[in-house]
Amino acid sequence: MMEHHGPGILMAAFVIVVGLAFNPFAAHADEFHWGFKKAMNGEPPNAGSALESMLNEYGAIYKGKPDEKIVYLTFDNGYENGETESILDTLKKEDAPATFFLTGHYLKSAEPLVKRMVKDGHGIGNHSFDHPNMAKLSPHQMEEEWKKFDTLLEEITGIDRTVYARPPEGIFNEELLAVGNSLGYRHIFWSIAFIDWYADKPKGKEFAYNELMNQLHPGAVILMHTVSSDNSGALPDFIRDAKKKGYTFGSLDELVMEYEDIQLGSLQ
């Protein structure tokens, strides 16, 4: 199966060192809700110059290079709804890496699935412990959310900490990015998403498949929620058909190395 954990250790060290250069207490408190016009015709979306500049300052990423037909799968898991096992089966069959952004509730309630994610070679991201509006927290409270999650994750899996963070509901501010950097966390947003978090309102796998294929673009960071039967049903066909279009599937470690222009050979 996939092996994607080695570079993550280097990325953790990189983010920790770089993060020390930022002063989180000098950051602005404006609140942002991540989102933009959907990608079309294979063209990546654009967050706008102001947000692009802010993200770049703190090494936050939401898409890869526009000339590389690589897709990065990410899933947000707040609670389990019986669909994750199917998703993991598909990822294993198609040899596609993914990162699962989990909450504390998920760690406690779905421990066997968390262990399988790690065993199968997938990444674990920090979606906070209690799923609050992180932009409204103090720096100390932000740290508590991330570190409380990491402590429980280590107890369950042996992984000492996470590197990649994603704020609940995509709500953030500059202070959150800066505090995260100072603690060794790098924020990963997304360039493809759709309304898929209502577990009791399925629209069918065709809906999810069409959303994914219509928004597909080089360097796509895809966000899906594992509570959706639409997603688990659409994922096999989406991965296979994306491959037919020449796309490959990469890990977030690979995305970050691409962003930093780090060559794989330089790590050996």
73 forms beta bridges with 98, 222
Residues 36/46, Cβ–Cβ less than 8 Å: yes
pLDDT tens per residue across span 113-172: 999 999 999 999 999 999 999 999 999 999 999 999 999 999 999 999 999 999 999 999
For position 95, what pLDDT does the model report?
97
Confidence category of residue 262, pLDDT binned at 50, 70, 90? confident
- With tokens 């992984």, the residue in question is 159
Confidence category of residue 263, pLDDT binned at 50, 70, 90? low
For 162-192, letters b (16+ CB in 10 Å) and e give bbbbbbbebbbbbbbbbbbbbbbbbbbbbbb
For position 81, what pLDDT does the model report?
95
Residue 75: strand, helix, or coil: strand
Choose among 164, 222, 220, 236: nearest CA to 194.
222
Q: What is the mean pLDDT of residues 180-196?
A: 97
User: Does the structure show a pLDDT above 80 at 247?
Assistant: yes
Cα separation, 122 vs 4, in Å, equals: 7
Q: Is 72 exposed, middle or buried (0-12, 13-18, 19+ CB in 10 A)?
A: buried
For position 261, what pLDDT does the model report?
85
For position 27, what pLDDT does the model report?
42
Q: What is the mean pLDDT of residues 82-99?
A: 98
Strands (E), the chain: 32-33, 70-77, 98-102, 123-126, 164-165, 171-172, 186-187, 220-225, 248-250
User: Does the structure show a pLDDT above 50 at 23?
Assistant: no
pTM of the model: 0.89
Percent of the chain with pLDDT over 70: 87
Percent of the chain with pLDDT over 90: 82
Euclidean distance between the first and the last CA atom of the chain, given in angstroms as a whole number: 20
CA angle 14, 103, 150 (to 5 degrees): 45
Q: What is the mean pLDDT of residues 39-60?
A: 94
Q: Which residue did the predictor score with more confidence, 158 or 35?
A: 158
Known catalytic residues are 76, 225
